[in-house]
Structure 1
Amino acid sequence: MGKNNKLGLWILTALVVGNMVGSGIFMLPRSLSEAASPAGVMGAWILTGFGVLMTALVFGNLAIRKPELSGGPQIYAKELFKPGSKASTLSGFMSSWGYWIGNLAGNIAIITTFAGYLSTFFPALTNQAELFTIGSFTLKVGNALTFIVCTILLWGTHFIILRGLENAGKLNFLATAAKVLGFFLFILVGLFAFQKANMLPFVAPRVDDAGHTAGLLGQINNAAITTLWAFIGVESAVVFASRAKKQIDVKRATILGLFIAIAIYVGISTLTMGMLSQEALIHSDKPLIDAIQTVLGPIGGKILAAVGLVSLFGSTIGWVMLSSEVPYQAAKQGLFIPAFLKEDKNGIPKFSLIVTNSLGQLFIFSTISNSISAAFDFVIYIATLSYLVPYFISSLFQLKLVITGETYNGSKGRATDGVIAVLSTLYSVWVIIAGTADLKTFTFGMILLASGILFYNQLNKQPVVKPNKNGKVSA
């Protein structure tokens, strides 16, 4: 692999932070306040933070113990069955397929949110004037401009990555550093503007759309599902494990990135609750901007919107890199269509990048007829299971290694890893059960996974393309 494709500790950490702290942070305070009272929100952060920490420790440990299984947590699915068996190949392919589609869909959610924040500076993006009408379809000016912006961002990122993964990683690092600084400045302002009265009542019931009242434990459960989305992307360093300069950096980047993201999320969500009344927060469409404007006025909103654009740009680079890496690494394990093995002279998975972004372009077409929020909600629905299942699989695989003793010399660290694996597995099971209780989410998730069956036979029909002596396959 070329020198310009090896990633160091700080670039890996930036990928973790950049991919975790994306579009969700801007709407999370409102969603959490709607689901729970302040006590419930804090309880959810503690529960989810602990559960994801256990999962992150599993990721880091597996990256060290099984460095040959690179490409993301979904790769471990094949290791749960007899090596070389159909069950092993099928589980690996289906898990990789679902995780890949979920990732590229989630990336488009970030891109459409970027267009939403850009409208703060260019109101034309929300212009409802009609351009033309064909039959029952009407194209509005705002939708057309949003489509153009999203398309430019997607393919602009595409060409940035083609110039080298390390260069793209450095650009992601700069964007991540800028947004971390911006969010910590928000936290600093929030400390001075915090009003204790806005946190009261600290414990209060919440009533859902069906009229059901949720107590504190029910609120923690509901809010914990929401906070989980704050941690999606914690596995980013694991996906790029084969491109890391040192394998130990994968574990270090995962843990360091997780703690940085937790500090940002908990600080911002808590302080926003203290800057706006609970009623105002629940009904806010842009909670962070509304909160900062109570202190700094309109100029504060503009500054935060700019931070948002930098944040989302960095996240787009990170997620496009990750989305194209997933099928490429899976193909190297014999778990994906062989054509995805193709690289260019710089070691970039060019074919995978083209296919991934071409499919992403199809999702962007949804912005022509739908609002940005509708497009965002749609892709989040279909991405749910694609993230939850690989987390569960990783925990089970770690548990298998502990039970069989594979990779362990003696009992050193084995008991500790066993406890972590059990806690991570229990957390993953709980999240899957709670997160798929909604029939719509479950149905979309199943359709997403089942769609891979249409392409499974390609693994057997096409001859496996083996890399040359330099480890590359020509594009």
Structure 2
Amino acid sequence: MSKTNKLGLWILTALVVGNMVGSGIFMLPRTLSEVASPAGVLLAWVLTGAGVLVTALVFGNLAIRKPNLNGGPQIYAKELFSKGSNASILSGYMSTWGYWIGNLAGNIAIITTFAGYLSSFFPILTSGATLMTIGSFSLKTGNALTFLVCTLLLWTTHFIILRGLENAGKLNFAATATKVIGFFLFIVIALFAFEKTNILPFAEAQVDDAGNKVGLLGQINHAAVATLWAFIGVESAVVFASRAKKQVDVKRATILGLLIALGIYIGISTLVMGLLNHSELVQSDKPLIDAITTVAGPIGGKLLAALGLISLLGSTIGWVMLSAEVPYQAAKQGLFLTSFLKENKNGIPIFSMVVTNLIGQLFIFSTISNSISDAFNFVITIATLSYLIPYFISSVFQLKMVATGETYVGQLRNRVTDGIIGILSTVYSTWVIIAGTADLKTFLFGMGLLASGIVFYGKLRKSKSSAVPQKLSA
């Protein structure tokens, strides 16, 4: 790849922030309020932020110490076993498969949220009128239009990226800068309208679906997977490490992007709870718009909806780029089908882009029969646990490197520090996995997702692991 098509610190940082501050910032205030009190929500954000911070430090450290292992945290799975062994290839492939499908689902969550915010300008997108009936199935007008909007956004983004990674990155940077400025203004305005009574009682016990009371620690556990969803994408710079101008920028962009996103999440989550009472918040499909409308009226809601559309557009670009890059980089490591190595004249993995977005199109079909919020919750259930295993693997790999001393010759202090960080990151990942799989439905979804990849593993073993990309005209 030419120097001019490499990604610098600020574009990498924009990818991290843009991919994290996507659909979560708009939908999670409602999701979290359904399972936790204000105290539980804030503690979940703080604990998740701390856990993701040590995990981000692991990503940054491995990107510098193992620059040849590009493509995302799932790549490190193969390094836990003997080089070239069946266990190495299988673990690397299965980890990549789960991570890739998780990325697909995450991207569709953003796209469906885009359609939800577009309904602020075009209410027909939520119309319950019946468009057509086939047997027992009735297609609603709003669902059909939402499907068309999501499809158009997905494939428009597809063709934008095919024209070149650097230009797509610049568009993502512009959208990310706009959203950061807009959210800062939201925080400033909301500070003056904050109602303390809306967050009282601050640490009240919650009642789950079975009618059981859930204490503060239980609320934090329930909120842990949802808050982790908000930080999915922190590894974006690591995925694009091979395309970075400087390897050190990967670590810098990861940490800087995380801190920016964490400040936005905690600030906005707290303030939304202060602008809407609990019953209003849990019933809202657009909590940020409803919150700002109480302060600035309908005009304020429209302006925030416009900001949301810009934000989600940038996030869509970043996530489509990320989703297609994962199997492409894995194929270069011999962990995915060689057909995913095909590039166009601009260095974009064209085959991976097409397959990734065709599968994404299948996820978009969930909007035909579900509401926006239902579709969002559905893809979160599928996606979140797909990221936990690669995060856990990265932490264990760092511990392995610390234990063997690989790349730490004459660096005892760094070795001890990285060992402590690796232990903390491993503990955090294990905690969230346990919390997330406590629900049987979530566990079965996660296992089913991973198991589905075995169908194509035989073909991978038979294919030649060619590392030379094939050039195609686009």
Q: Please confirm whether the aligned pair reaches a TM-score higher than 0.5, indicating the same fold.
A: yes
Cα distance in 1 between the residues matched to 2:408 and 2:383: 35
8 Å CA contact 1:161, 1:321 repeated in 2 = yes
* Structure 2 residue 234 is matched with structure 1 residue 237: no
8 Å CA contact 2:332, 2:466 repeated in 1 = no
- Could you tell me which residue of structure 2 aligns to residue 79 of structure 1? 79
- Could you tell me which residue of structure 2 aligns to residue 351 of structure 1? 351
8 Å CA contact 1:385, 1:445 repeated in 2 = yes
Cα distance in 2 between the residues matched to 1:448 and 1:177: 35
Cα distance in 2 between the residues matched to 1:372 and 1:201: 30
CA separation of 1:280 and 1:123: change in aligned 2, threshold 3 A: closer
Cα distance in 2 between the residues matched to 1:39 and 1:462: 53
- Residues 84-127 of structure 1: CA deviation (Å, up to 9, x unaligned): 10000000000001111111121111111111111110112122
* Structure 2 residue 430 is matched with structure 1 residue 429: yes
Cα distance in 1 between the residues matched to 2:279 and 2:377: 23
5 Å-filtered alignment, 1:324-403, equals: 324-403=324-403
8 Å CA contact 2:16, 2:236 repeated in 1 = yes
Match of 2:471 among 466, 469, 474: 474
Deviates more, 1:412-421 or 1:378-387: 378-387
5 Å-filtered alignment, 1:68-147, equals: 68-147=68-147
Which amino acid letter does the alignment assign opposite residue 420 of structure 1? I
Per-residue deviation, 1:149: 0.9
- Could you tell me which residue of structure 2 aligns to residue 26 of structure 1? 26
Calculate the TM-score normalised by the size of structure 2.
0.97
Cα distance in 1 between the residues matched to 2:86 and 2:63: 25
- Could you tell me which residue of structure 2 aligns to residue 300 of structure 1? 300
- Could you tell me which residue of structure 2 aligns to residue 276 of structure 1? 276
Per-residue deviation, 1:269: 0.6
- Could you tell me which residue of structure 2 aligns to residue 420 of structure 1? 421
Cα distance in 1 between the residues matched to 2:331 and 2:42: 42
Per-residue deviation, 1:362: 1.4
Deviates more, 1:278-287 or 1:167-176: 278-287
Per-residue deviation, 1:72: 0.1
Which amino acid letter does the alignment assign opposite residue 130 of structure 2? E
Alignment length, in residue pairs? 471
SS in 1 for 2:231: coil
- Residues 120-173 of structure 1: CA deviation (Å, up to 9, x unaligned): 101121222223223233322222211111111001000110110010000000
Deviates more, 1:95-104 or 1:456-465: 456-465
- Residues 221-277 of structure 1: CA deviation (Å, up to 9, x unaligned): 222332111111111110000000000000000000000000100000111122222
Cα distance in 2 between the residues matched to 1:131 and 1:336: 42
* Structure 2 residue 213 is matched with structure 1 residue 213: yes
Cα distance in 2 between the residues matched to 1:374 and 1:36: 19
- Residues 253-304 of structure 1: CA deviation (Å, up to 9, x unaligned): 0000000000100000111122222333233332211211111011111111
- Could you tell me which residue of structure 2 aligns to residue 12 of structure 1? 12
Cα distance in 2 between the residues matched to 1:386 and 1:281: 28
Deviates more, 1:442-451 or 1:219-228: 219-228
Cα distance in 2 between the residues matched to 1:138 and 1:199: 41
Which amino acid letter does the alignment assign opposite residue 360 of structure 1? G
Q: Percent identity?
A: 77
SS in 2 for 1:229: helix
SS in 1 for 2:18: helix
Which amino acid letter does the alignment assign opposite residue 313 of structure 1? L
Per-residue deviation, 1:332: 0.2
CA separation of 1:295 and 1:36: change in aligned 2, threshold 3 A: same
Cα distance in 2 between the residues matched to 1:4 and 1:144: 42
Deviates more, 1:216-225 or 1:424-433: 216-225
SS in 2 for 1:407: coil
CA separation of 1:203 and 1:403: change in aligned 2, threshold 3 A: same
- Could you tell me which residue of structure 1 aligns to residue 439 of structure 2? 438
8 Å CA contact 1:4, 1:165 repeated in 2 = no
- Could you tell me which residue of structure 2 aligns to residue 166 of structure 1? 166
Cα distance in 1 between the residues matched to 2:448 and 2:223: 26
* Structure 2 residue 459 is matched with structure 1 residue 458: yes
8 Å CA contact 1:48, 1:227 repeated in 2 = yes
8 Å CA contact 1:19, 1:233 repeated in 2 = yes
Which amino acid letter does the alignment assign opposite residue 470 of structure 2? V
Cα distance in 1 between the residues matched to 2:205 and 2:141: 43
Which amino acid letter does the alignment assign opposite residue 105 of structure 1? A
Cα distance in 2 between the residues matched to 1:462 and 1:284: 50
8 Å CA contact 2:76, 2:394 repeated in 1 = yes
SS in 1 for 2:71: coil
Which amino acid letter does the alignment assign opposite residue 438 of structure 1? D
- Could you tell me which residue of structure 1 aligns to residue 50 of structure 2? 50
Cα distance in 1 between the residues matched to 2:338 and 2:458: 12
8 Å CA contact 1:237, 1:254 repeated in 2 = yes
Deviates more, 1:154-163 or 1:29-38: 29-38
Cα distance in 2 between the residues matched to 1:113 and 1:47: 26
8 Å CA contact 1:77, 1:91 repeated in 2 = yes
CA RMSD of aligned residues (A): 1.3
Deviates more, 1:299-308 or 1:211-220: 211-220
8 Å CA contact 2:19, 2:236 repeated in 1 = yes
Cα distance in 1 between the residues matched to 2:371 and 2:4: 40
Cα distance in 2 between the residues matched to 1:81 and 1:465: 21
Cα distance in 2 between the residues matched to 1:463 and 1:42: 50
Per-residue deviation, 1:384: 2.5
CA separation of 1:363 and 1:203: change in aligned 2, threshold 3 A: closer
8 Å CA contact 2:225, 2:384 repeated in 1 = no
Cα distance in 2 between the residues matched to 1:244 and 1:286: 36
SS in 1 for 2:211: coil
Per-residue deviation, 1:4: 4.2
- Residues 48-91 of structure 1: CA deviation (Å, up to 9, x unaligned): 11111000000000000000000000000000001110000000
Cα distance in 1 between the residues matched to 2:56 and 2:244: 17
CA separation of 1:147 and 1:34: change in aligned 2, threshold 3 A: closer
Per-residue deviation, 1:365: 2.1
Which amino acid letter does the alignment assign opposite residue 131 of structure 2? L
Cα distance in 2 between the residues matched to 1:220 and 1:21: 21
